[in-house]
């Protein structure tokens, strides 16, 4: 397993002055040799010029939040991360690896949730490279590796949780976004750590039932909402009826037997729980007629 090693290249400005001096000296010697027909000076000038030109590939620059992976004949020699102009062995291969923070958004994936309901899900992954050696040598293409493993983690996550909790306290994709995002982040850490990648954030960006069951699931959600609303209305109506009976009894406005109380309770519940406006009926007879 490869681990990142800090490279120590030579300062580029100092080496640039040295190489420029060699080139200038070689050109001057070649000029003298050619002018005075001195073969020794001419050959020396050619050698200096050749050395100066051969040294120029050793110069490289490192941008902020960038690493240059240095390899010599296939052997890893280290990574230069300090920004600036540097010089190293001209035969070194220099591969740039960005250390900047990146965003990746998965496609809208169609997956079966924990209850085998088809759902559409997508996620956003925020990541960056923290080990250039692992990113360069442990995987073939770390950018593609992040994309493939992120989609795989999202699929596994969606299959582990139901879309909706249906009244219980189980973690669900639609009602527990923090817990789901935490689970996705942990899964991505395990999958992408071997590629020298750190996941900074992972969250669900798209979540919906698949089109073939979306209408049925919408009806079920509407029915659940109606049942919950009716339950609240009934509880409130029962409380109001109880208050009305207690107030009538405490103030001795009217004395009702059990049959009349039952009728009153029935009428009040109909009025309070109905989803339409009640039509009043005026009783013009006696109380017991």
Answer whether residue 214 shows pLDDT above 60: no
Query: 3-class DSSP state for residue 102?
Result: strand
Conformation bin of residue 74: beta by default, left when phi > 0, alpha when psi is -120 to 50: left
Per the prediction, the chain carries an average pLDDT of 81
Q: Residue 108 — φ and ψ, nearest 5°? A: -75, 105
| Structure confidence at residue 152 (pLDDT) | 92
130-184 pLDDT per residue, tens: 999 999 999 999 999 999 999 999 999 888 888 777 656 678 887 888 888 898 9
pLDDT bin (cut points 50, 70, 90) of residue 116 is: confident
What separation in angstroms does the CA of 16 have from each of 48, 57, 153, 282? 15, 11, 49, 106
| Structure confidence at residue 239 (pLDDT) | 75
pLDDT bin (cut points 50, 70, 90) of residue 83 is: very high
pTM: 0.68
Provide the β-strand partners of residue 199: 127
What separation in angstroms does the CA of 250 have from each of 8, 246, 254? 93, 6, 10
Structure tokens at 238: 């029962």
Residue 241 CB coordination number (10 Å):
19
Q: How far apart are CA 54 and CA 52, in angstroms?
A: 5
Conformation bin of residue 65: beta by default, left when phi > 0, alpha when psi is -120 to 50: left
238-276 pLDDT per residue, tens: 777 777 777 767 766 666 666 666 766 676 666 666 666
* Percent share of the chain, pLDDT over 90: 30
Sheet of 93-98: strand order equals 75-80, 66-72, 93-98
Whats the size of the chain, residue-wise? 289
156-166 pLDDT per residue, tens: 988 888 877 76
pLDDT bin (cut points 50, 70, 90) of residue 210 is: confident
| Structure confidence at residue 258 (pLDDT) | 66
Structure tokens at 124: 């956003």
| Structure confidence at residue 209 (pLDDT) | 77
Q: Residue 60 — φ and ψ, nearest 5°? A: -155, 155
Name the DSSP class of 79.
E
Mean pLDDT of 79-90: 92
For residue 25, the Cα-to-chain-centroid distance in whole angstroms is 57
* Tokens 């395990």 -> residue: 190
Q: How far apart are CA 217 and CA 229, in angstroms?
A: 18
**Could you tell me which of 183, 140, 137 has the C-alpha nearest to residue 158?**
183
Task: Go through the domains of the chain in sequence order and give each one's CATH number.
Answer: 10-98 (no CATH), 102-209 (3.30.479.30), 218-273 (no CATH)
52-82 pLDDT per residue, tens: 888 899 999 999 999 999 999 989 999 999 9
| Structure confidence at residue 213 (pLDDT) | 55
């Amino acid at each position: 397993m490869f681990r990142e090693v800090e490279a120590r290249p030579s300062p580029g400005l100092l080496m640039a002055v040295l190489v420029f001096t060699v080139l200038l000296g070689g050109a001057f010697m070649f000029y003298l040799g050619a002018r005075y027909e001195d073969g020794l000076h001419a050959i020396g000038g050619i050698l200096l010029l050749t050395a100066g030109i051969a040294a120029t590939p050793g110069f490289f620059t490192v941008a902020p939040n960038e690493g240059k992976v240095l390899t010599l004949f296939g052997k890893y020699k280290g990574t230069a991360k300090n920004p600036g102009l540097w010089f190293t062995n001209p035969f070194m291969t220099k591969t740039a690896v960005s250390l900047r923070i990146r965003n990746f958004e998965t496609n809208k994936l169609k997956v079966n949730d924990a209850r085998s309901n088809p759902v559409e899900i997508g996620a956003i992954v925020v990541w960056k490279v923290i080990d250039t050696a692992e990113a360069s040598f442990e995987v073939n293409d770390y950018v593609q590796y992040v994309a493939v493993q992120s989609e795989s983690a999202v699929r596994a996550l969606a299959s582990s949780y139901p879309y909706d909790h249906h009244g219980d306290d189980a973690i669900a994709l639609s009602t527990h976004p923090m817990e789901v995002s935490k689970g996705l982040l942990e899964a991505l850490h395990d999958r992408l750590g071997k590629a020298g990648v750190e996941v900074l954030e992972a969250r669900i960006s798209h979540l919906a039932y698949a089109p073939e069951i979306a209408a049925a699931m919408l009806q079920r959600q509407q029915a659940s909402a109606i049942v919950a609303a009716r339950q609240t209305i009934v509880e409130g109506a029962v409380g109001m009826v109880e208050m009305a009976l207690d107030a009538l009894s405490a103030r001795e406005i009217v004395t009702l037997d059990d049959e009349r109380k039952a009728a009153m309770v029935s009428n009040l519940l109909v009025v309070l729980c109905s989803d339409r406006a009640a039509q009043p009926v005026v009783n013009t007879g006696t109380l017991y007629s």
